[in-house]
Amino acid sequence: MSRIAYVNGRFVWHQDACIHIEDRGNQFADAVYEVWGVRGGALMDFDGHMTRLARSLSELQIRRPMSDAALSAILVRMVALNHIRNGLIYLQVSRGQARRDHIFPSPDTRPGIMITAKPVNFEKAEARAGKGISVITQPDIRWARRDIKSVSLLPNVLAKQAAAEAGAGECWMIDTDGFITEASASNAWIVTADGTLVTRPASNDILNGITRRTLFRLARNAGIKTQERPFTRDEALAAREAFITSASAFLTPVVEIDGKPVANGHPGTFSLQLRASYVATAKERARKQMNRPSVWLVACRGERPVN
Ligand SMILES: Cc1ncc(COP(=O)(O)O)c(C=O)c1O
């Protein structure tokens, strides 16, 4: 089926979508991004990703490309135009197009915006989660502002490639003190012997995952103990369970670290139950968020994005 992308104010065929060679995202990685999971046609954790997008833009002093209502409408339309039931929506906003110079261009430079959509095989993703994944570990060689969702992802790419070459599903990265920061494209968690959910606190060291935040809320509401603190690879190997979270993986159990099994080497019931309730809750919230009249009014009026 033909895919449709959105680039700088226009819906275009995916194969024809292009940006200017002097887009600063291209030359300097001077851009931020967001990824929404789509389940049953609804964008999951919609508001959380919009809020983090605003924060990333503000931290880098990149102009917002348009109003939240206009952007929401375009995202909803992208899901519909691409007939996405289960999939991912990718959004990237750059500081715009300008003659190459490290210094920011003039403040009235229009930010660049691009959005793509792709379907994800629901059954395959569920089967992967049901089996769990193995991870490798590597030193974390990234910059000191990992809290910003910047497109500057080369260390993450290298880490994920190393994992793929080792036949693993993810790479957990380790800081100079020997603690896990997060994975190349997801947050890292363990479940301790007494059933406490542990993950590293939100700081400049990690991306504060939207799935991570939603899962925290869900766990606390269910009376599950949670703790935000760093943990080591050895603690993870001795844990009852381990898993990763992200908009694309939701919650996926980790059954092996650097070739050694976590617990009995099978996904734990705790992780699988949490995954099921995360998906159910997030789907329900997504439906409510996307049914807000403001989004549909803008979508129906076909309001032009301010770009
Ligand atoms: C480095 C990193 N950490 C964590 C996450 C998880 O974030 P989210 O749950 O918002 O997808 C991602 C997702 O892309 C990521 O790239």
CATH number at residue 138: 3.20.10.10
Predicted TM-score (pTM) of the model is 0.94
Residue 82 and residue 185 in one domain = no
Residue 52 forms part of a structural domain: yes
Active site residues: 149
Model pLDDT for residues 43-70, shown as the tens digit of each residue = 999 999 999 999 999 999 999 999 999 9
- Same domain? For 161 and 111 the reply is no
Does residue 142 sit in the same domain as residue 242? yes
User: Looking at the structure, do residues 228 and 254 belong to the same domain, yes or no?
Assistant: yes
Query: In this structure, is residue 126 part of a structural domain?
Result: no
Domain span holding position 69? 4-121+290-301
Indicate if the pLDDT at residue 97 is higher than 70: yes
pLDDT at position 147 is 98
148 plus 261 within the same structural domain: yes
Same domain, 80 and 171: no
Residue whose CA is at the smallest distance from ligand 1 atom 2: 185
pLDDT > 70? residue 236: yes
Q: Which residue has tokens 């680039």?
A: 7
Same domain as 93, residue 146? no
Q: How many structural domains does the chain have?
A: 2
> Side chain identity at 238, as an amino acid letter?
A
- What residues have CB less than 8 Å from 204, skipping those under 6 apart? 144, 145, 146, 147
Residue list, ligand 1 pocket, CB within 6 Å: 35, 156, 182, 185-187, 207, 209-212, 245-247
> Is position 272 within any domain?
no
* Interval between CA 140 and ligand 1 midpoint (Å): 15
The gap between the terminal CA atoms of the chain, to the nearest Å, is: 29
State pLDDT tens for residues 106-134: 999 999 999 999 999 988 888 999 999 99
pLDDT in tens, 127-182: 999 999 999 999 999 999 999 999 999 999 999 999 999 999 999 999 999 999 99
Q: In the prediction, which pLDDT does 307 show?
A: 35
**pLDDT for position 300:** 46
229 in the same domain as 140: yes
Segment 283-300, tens digit of pLDDT: 787 777 666 655 554 444
Q: Residue 307: inside a domain, yes or no?
A: no
3-state SS of 164-190? HHCCCCEEEEECCCCEEEEECCCEEEE
- Smallest CA separation from ligand 1 atom 7, residue: 209
Which of 92, 207, 211, when mutated, tests ligand 1's pocket best, judged by the most ligand atoms within 8 Å of its CB? Answer: 207
Asked if residue 259 and residue 137 are part of one domain, the reply reads: yes
Q: Tell me what the pLDDT averaged over the chain comes to.
A: 93
> In this structure, what CATH number is given to the domain that contains residue 64?
3.30.470.10
Say if residue 88 is in the same domain as residue 65.
Answer: yes
Is 284 inside a domain boundary?
no
Same domain, 83 and 33: yes
